[in-house]
A and B are shown apart, each in its own frame.
Chain A
Amino acid sequence: MKAALQEHTWLILPAMLAALCALVPAARAGWGSVRASNRSEYRPEPVHREAERVADRRRLDIEAERRHAFYWAGFQPGLAVGVLPPGYVQASVGATGYYYYNGVYFQPTTTGSYAVVAPPVGVIVPQLPDGADPVVVGPTTYYYAGGAFYVQQPTGFAVTPAPLGVTVTGLPPGAAPVTINGVVYFVAGSTYFLPVMQGGVTVYVTAHP
């Protein structure tokens, strides 16, 4: 074995070069100026493409418009509708029932209308809402839509408690600012978000105040 290796040591240099060339560079976007584009350094292909897509979207500062297209962006806890949207399904957590459609959860009121409620932890729905953003945390992929974090299950997608330290590009509909010990947070249901700026836009990190 050792002799065979010594015989082929001359292969090492070309092999190294081939390996270096195979580190296919993926340019990071530079937007709005040729100078920025020219400055983008080549980096190895990222492992998590979802993170890169999220980053690009962040950099483009289009979140407020982009989410307009998704059904859940128009609903926040406290709103009420007279009629449920066609295509709704029933879902429950324990003994509590909900009506669900595309990221929005309703419960009947005493007056015959349906009130929007915060996505309940533990509920399992058959499909992800439109516009769900993948958020990778270690080995787990969460999907963020309508202010809830979903994790894939054998029977569908379950709303889970928000993982901490995760960055999202938009707040849940109806999130409100709150100042705790001099620090501004946004709170939606029981999830707190710390606003920070990244890439020139405000993004939100799930946190414990």
Chain B
Amino acid sequence: MNTKRLKRSLIIAGSTVLATWAAPGQPQTNIAPEADRVLSAACQYLAQAPYFGLNAEVWREHVTASGQKLQFSRRVSMEVKRPNRLHMEIASPHSQRGFWYDGKSLTILDREPGLFSMAAMPNALDAALDKAHDQFGIDLPLADLAVSDPCKNATAKVLKGAYYGLSPVLGINCHHLAFIQENVDWQIWIEDGPHPLIRKLVITHKNEQAMPEFTALITDWDLTDRIAESDFAFEAPRGASKIEMLPDQATGGESSQMHLPLTNPKNK
């Protein structure tokens, strides 16, 4: 083959790859108008409440090494005051944990062994949730509802959104919306009628083996009661001990070997 032509076409191909790879990706977002209308109504309804509280039951799918899917559930209660307060309880018969964010730090209490840990956080929920995820590998369920612009946050990477009519969730008729992204697909069910409350959320993790799902069913909403500041302040239960909150070591091919001082660490 003509070396000169081969050379030229390879350079063009290479430049094209470079151009598409280097160019800031602008995904084509295609959300059906009805889906957009329903989602916006839900976000606006949520955004106009300075405080909100909810109770939910969340289900996480765990895929075993043999490919078996197991679902494990938790009761979740969440109290939020935008822009910088959050209190969450995640509970099951075997494990009960509390999370407090007061604009300065995140405290996690593992109630059963009586252990808690703390880390400094920025003074805004959005940034604090991001730092908790990036630095500590902590993901709080339903955090999407606590951020400052839930709609903009949720649709940031959406490629396509569709409206699937009405379905009952926990006995309440809800608008069923489904969104496609590259990394996850997610579906949301929003109450029909004068109170467009979010009743169900499903996130499908397409990039993981067997595409495990996270499901949240929100049983109770409170958008009216004022939440006391003390709800967001952590108070160590009697006998609880402070332990270290370690940065996330899950990525980058780290082995389970951790680099900890083997002599007595001081209680901070």
Stretch from A53-61, A87-95, A96-104 at the B interface: A53-61
B140's nearest neighbour on chain A, judged by CB, is A32
Do A200 and B256 form a contact, CB below 8 Å, given A37-B203, A177-B113, A195-B113?
no
Residues of A within 8 A of B183 (CB): 27, 37-38, 40
Residues A165 and B205 in contact, CB atoms below 8 Å apart: no
B258 CB contacts on chain A under 8 angstroms:
165-167, 205
Assess whether A62 is in contact with B144, with CB atoms less than 8 Å apart: no
| Docked-complex contact A55 and B262, CB < 8 angstroms | no
- Tell yes or no: B120 within 8 A of A by CB: no
**Interface size for chain B: under 10, 10 to 19, 20 to 34, or 35 or more residues?**
35 or more
Contact (Cβ within 8 A) B255 A199: no
**What residues on B are CB-neighbors of A81 within 8 Å?**
none
CB within 8 Å of A: which of B93-122?
A: 94-95, 97, 99, 108, 110, 113, 115, 117
* CB within 8 Å of B: which A19-35 residues: 20-21, 27-35
Residues of A136-184 contacting chain B, CB below 8 A: 136-138, 164-168, 177, 179-184
- B252:A43 contact, CB within 8 angstroms: yes
Taking a contact as CB atoms under 8 Å apart, the answer to whether A32 and B208 are in contact is no
B246-268: which have CB < 8 Å to A?
246, 248-260, 262-267
Q: Are A165 and B14 in contact (CB under 8 A)?
A: no
**Nearest chain A CB to B185's CB is how many angstroms away?**
10
A35-B133 Cα distance, complex, nearest whole Å? 10
| A80 proximal to B (CB < 8 A) | no
A38–B263 CA distance with the chains assembled, in angstroms: 39
Q: Report Cα–Cα, A208/B7, bound state, in Å.
A: 63
Instruction: Flag whether A51 is at the interface (Cβ < 8 A).
Output: yes
Measured between beta carbons, the chain A residues less than 8 angstroms from B205 are 29, 31, 37
Report the count of interface residues on A (CB-CB < 8 A). 73
A13 within 8 A of B: yes
Q: Are A196 and B110 in contact (CB under 8 A)?
A: no
Asked if A117 is at the interface of the complex by the 8 Å CB criterion, the answer is no
Enumerate chain B residues within 8 angstroms of A166, measured Cβ to Cβ. Answer: 256-258
- Find chain A residues with CB under 8 A from B43 CB: none
Q: What are 16 A-to-B residue pairs whose CB atoms are below 8 Å?
A: A14-B17, A27-B183, A29-B208, A30-B139, A41-B134, A44-B252, A48-B253, A55-B249, A57-B62, A59-B139, A177-B113, A196-B243, A198-B246, A200-B138, A207-B260, A208-B263
Give me the interface of B with A, judged by CB distance under 8 Å: 7, 10-11, 13-14, 17-18, 21, 58, 60, 62, 65, 70, 72, 74, 90, 92, 94-95, 97, 99, 108, 110, 113, 115, 117, 129-130, 132-134, 136-144, 147, 153-154, 156-157, 181, 183-184, 186, 203, 205, 207-208, 214, 216, 241, 243-246, 248-260, 262-267
